Amino acid sequence: MQDVTHLLQSHRSIRTFKDIPIEQSIVEELICSGQAAATSSFIQACTVIQVSKGAKREKIAELAGNQNYVKKAPVFLVFCADMHRHQLACEMHKVPMKSGYTEQLLTASIDCALFAQNVVIAAEALGLGICYIGGIRNDIAAVSSLLDLPDLAFPVFGLCLGYPDQNPEVKPRLPLSLTLKQNSYSQHKTLNEADKDDIAALEAYDQQIREYYKSRTSAQKEMSWTEQISGMLQKEARPHMMDFLQGKGFMKR
C-alpha cells in the first residue's frame, strides 16, 4: 500500500473549503474509523461533539482567535477527553471511582489524539482537507461550558473538515537525525556532545525552512524554525490550563 504512505506524507492543513456540504453518513463513517484506533486499556475516553453552523459555532470561532475557517468549515468537530462515562460505569456497579490522576489526563488526551488522527486519515483518503484547532483551549472554560461538558470531561482540540479550496505546499519536517535516535537520546555521547550534533542539524533545517517560507505560494515570510520556536517560547502557554483541568477533576494528583 504505497498509496497510504503517499497519503500520509502529503498532509497539509486546509483552511479554505469549498461550499460543499459533507453528508452525515460520511461523518459517521469517519467517527467509526476514529473509534477503531488503539485505546489505552480499552478505556475509549474520547467523545466527539459535532457543532453545526450557527451562533454556537461562531462563538467558538471567536474564542479560538477569530478563526474564520472554524466558522465556515462544512463540518466542525470537538474532540473531548471524557471520563464522565467511566463515572457512570462505576455508578452502575455501585463502586467508587478513583479519579484525578495525572496519568488519566494523559491516557484520555492520547486516546482523543489517536482517535482524531484516524478520523483525519480517513477524511484525507476521501479527498477532504482538515485543520486541527488547538485555539479552542484559548478560553477552554468558555468552550467547555458552550458544549455543556460535565466534570471529568474537557475539550482537547477542534477539527475543521471540508473539501479543499486551496492547495498549499507540504511543510518540511525536522531531519531524521533529530527525530529517530538509537537506544539512547544522546546516542551514548555526553548530552553536551549530542546537543552539538543536534544544533548543527537544526542549523541546516533552519536554512531549509527559511527557503520554504520565502518561496511558498502564500503568507511568505523570513523565518527559520528555531526563530519561530524560540519566539513562541518567550510567551506564556495558556497559563489557565492547570486550574481549569484541576477544576474539571483531572491532574489533582
Site for a second copy in 145-164 (CB under 8 A): 147-150, 153, 156-157
If one asks whether residue 9 binds a second copy (CB under 8 A), the answer comes out as yes
Residue span binding a second copy (CB under 8 A) among the ranges 15-23, 38-46, 65-73, 160-168: 38-46
CA distance 11 to 9: 6
If one asks whether residue 5 binds a second copy (CB under 8 A), the answer comes out as yes
Q: Hey, which residues between 159 and 188 contact a second copy (CB under 8 A)?
A: 170-171, 173-174, 176, 178-186, 188
State the cell numbers at 245: 483541568
Dihedral of CA 164/168/174/176: which sign? positive
Least separation in angstroms between residue 133's CB and a second copy is 10
CA distance 78 to 159: 6
Residue span binding a second copy (CB under 8 A) among the ranges 15-23, 62-70, 116-124, 161-169: 116-124
If one asks whether residue 19 binds a second copy (CB under 8 A), the answer comes out as no
Tell which one of 66, 193, 216, 229 touches a second copy (CB under 8 A): 229
State the cell numbers at 4: 497510504
Residue type, 171: K
- Burial class (CB within 10 angstroms; exposed 0-12, middle 13-18, buried 19+) of 43: middle
CA distance 145 to 142: 5
CA distance 225 to 229: 6
If one asks whether residue 86 binds a second copy (CB under 8 A), the answer comes out as yes
Listed in sequence order, the residues at least 6 apart from 70 whose beta carbon sits closer than 8 Å to its beta carbon are 57, 60, 61, 64, 76, 133, 135, 158, 160
Tell which one of 96, 217, 219, 221 touches a second copy (CB under 8 A): 96
If one asks whether residue 142 binds a second copy (CB under 8 A), the answer comes out as no
Residue span binding a second copy (CB under 8 A) among the ranges 2-10, 15-23, 67-75, 161-169: 2-10
Residue span binding a second copy (CB under 8 A) among the ranges 15-23, 64-72, 104-112, 161-169: 104-112
CB nearer a second copy, residue 49 or residue 63:
49
Tell which one of 19, 20, 23, 98 touches a second copy (CB under 8 A): 98
Least separation in angstroms between residue 21's CB and a second copy is 15
Tell which one of 41, 215, 217, 218 touches a second copy (CB under 8 A): 41
Tell which one of 65, 195, 204, 207 touches a second copy (CB under 8 A): 195
Residues 67-84: b if buried by 16+ CB within 10 A, e if exposed: bebbbbbbbbbbbbbbbb
Pairing of strands 46-50, 129-133: unpaired
